[in-house]
A and B are shown apart, each in its own frame.
Chain A
Amino acid sequence: MQKSVELTGIGKGFGADDVLKNIDLSVKPGEFLSLVGMSGCGKSTLLRIIAGLERPDRGSVAIGGADVTELDPSARNLAMVFQSYALYPHMSVRQNIATPLRMRRLSLASRLPLIGALAASAEVLREINKSVEQAAETLHISHLLDRKPAQLSGGQRQRVALARALVRSPAAFLMDEPLSNLDAKLRAHMRNELAALHRRLGATFIYVTHDQTEAMTMSDRIALMSEGRIEQLGTPSELYEHPATLTVARFIGTPSINLVPVEVLPNGSVSLFGQALGLAAAGHNAGPATLGVRAEDVSITPEGLPLRVQRTETHGADRFVHGHLQADEALPVTFRLSIGAPVAVNSDDVIYVSFPPERAHLFGRDGSRLAAFPTDRVAA
């Protein structure tokens, strides 16, 4: 089942602080949307508002076109996977996965222990059992069905939590940092599995994470949040290629984008330590600004910006070179060097680097993106 999720004008405050400020967000049916941001940016609160665990102070939540703002969590037909997995500790894996179905299909009397076995219809119980086994098979945990959560590893608990979520075909899946308690290798593996699960189910996923790699690798679209606002909403490549603000540029991409202070001259041209960069800012934006360049856009050239190499970092196919601009020792610059490049780079070498001006991102003093275009001059 796939349903859209629409948030309109959501606001929420705790005490004097506004945690969420007027959030509008529309998640399409079947979409994998990630909410990313630093801790405290409001992404978890937003997810909890969608789930119904938290009431917004303002605004409304609609699922599949129907307003659910006033509905209890269980009436919204959403499934949530929690960071701690939140499995019921006294139940076996089988009972854990069956619980969402039992709560929906069985009456209160038939859920009671002992008496329940008599009151519940055998037909319904058979159906539930079948759904449980299907869900377990999907996540490869059929052999664990009779264990208790305490006997499982972190990765296995994660799978049980996912099975419990998908067993009842919810309108949408909500995930609150579900991979953050796993070790790095398992995390990468589960990332692939989650993406595959999303493709197979075709369901709507809303995924909260502080890890930009998770968001970049799995999402159809990313909503990057900061201080209770959505800074930018777009596909992973839009956020990477055209960050709308300095915050987005900083957050997305590993290694982090290189940021250097530049000056926009009254004639619009951008200069770095007095050198023209071959880039001009549109409009009247004279004054200090920030230039962002991705590591892979920087290359070693016969002439350009002098850089003192600090260390190199080998990542298999890639090498990253970390250094400082000579003009300002406090400014770290990192760039990527393909392993194939026949360049020997050693610590304390002074090398010259440059970048194509059209690959640079220019941000004004308030952090918003400034339109810029390359001039015909060669990049310094």
Chain B
Amino acid sequence: MARVRQFLPHLVLGAGAFIVLLPFYWMFLTSIRSPAEIFDVSLWPIPKQFDMAVNYERAASQVPMMRFMLNGLIVCLGILIVQVATAVPAAYALAKLNFPGRKLLLTLVIAALCVPIQALALPLFVGLAKLDLLNTYFAMMAPFFLSVFAIFLFHQSFRSYPDEIIEAARMDGFSEMEICWGLVLRGSLPSLAAFSVFSVVAHWNDLYWPMIVVTDINLAPPPLGMLFFSDVESGANYGALMAGAALITAPMIVCFLLARRHFIAGITMTGVK
């Protein structure tokens, strides 16, 4: 009985992990198979004909993959930097400063969490079109500059920072900005790591918004680029398509593995999931 109790959680978790990882495995498997085997349902890892080199070469040469990656990088970093630069002071003020209307503002932040991007897509698109900003990096980044999720996450984490340290810093002559960035954020690095992973993964993988505001293939981030790619190929070569998908997923996996420990600390500490 004790043995069962010991193994049961692992069994359940293992099943969960299997379900989550299966699509990635399938993607990778397809990317090394030849067209003849693509629709084979077998999960056997070694294909009869090893087409990895062909598929990956094709994915890398058919479309400007490096260009897509660079676009993705520019968009993700641009969004992340502005999000952190705006959300950290806002969260600090909401968590640690006393001013009238603080509770109301915090309520608005939480309420804003409930508004999906799709609801705002049309007005944002019209606005960007009027300003003649469609087909720019800015158009892809602008709607995400102010992240209420980031404000909320940092607020949760900053709240637990000891008030006495902030007061000691005020007596020592720190400015509020130095306290905010140099002490409080410093004490919440796991949250910063967690948020960075959330933000970068979400915007790296975002297809919806770039598809709306970008038609120029030179500005396309990876998922949109893949879409152009499959159009070019009329969806015929799944092996190469999956090779492309594997290529654009890899940076995110690396990014998560690097920040993994902080990421987990960040979400468990702040009670955000």
Contact = CB atoms under 8 A, between A and B. Distances in A.
Interface of A: 51-53, 72-74, 78-80, 82-84, 86-90, 99-100, 103-104, 111
Interface residues of B, number: 15
Given A89-B187, A90-B187, A74 B173 contact: yes
A171 to B, nearest CB: 12
Contacts of A52: 171
B170 interface: yes
B174 A103 contact: yes
A78 B186 CA distance: 26
A318 B233 CA distance: 98
A86 B187 contact: no
Given A89-B187, A90-B186, A84 B162 contact: yes
Nearest to B170: A73
Contact of B167 (A53, A89, A99, A111): A53
A104 B187 CA distance: 23
Contacts of B169: 88
B128 interface: no
B183 A88 contact: yes
Contacts of A83: 164
B172 interface: yes
A86 B168 contact: yes
A100 B170 CA distance: 10
Contacts of A82: 164, 167-168
A174 B75 CA distance: 50
B173 A103 contact: yes
A99 B173 CA distance: 9
Contacts of A90: 183, 186-187
Interface string B173-213: 11000100001001100000000000000000000000000
Interface string B150-169: 00000000000010110111
A148 B188 CA distance: 17
B165 A89 contact: yes
Nearest to A72: B170
A90 B167 CA distance: 16
B45 to A, nearest CB: 46
Nearest to A54: B167
Nearest to A113: B182
A17 to B, nearest CB: 17
Given A53-B167, A80-B167, A80-B168, A86 B173 contact: no
Contact of A80 (B171, B174, B178): B171
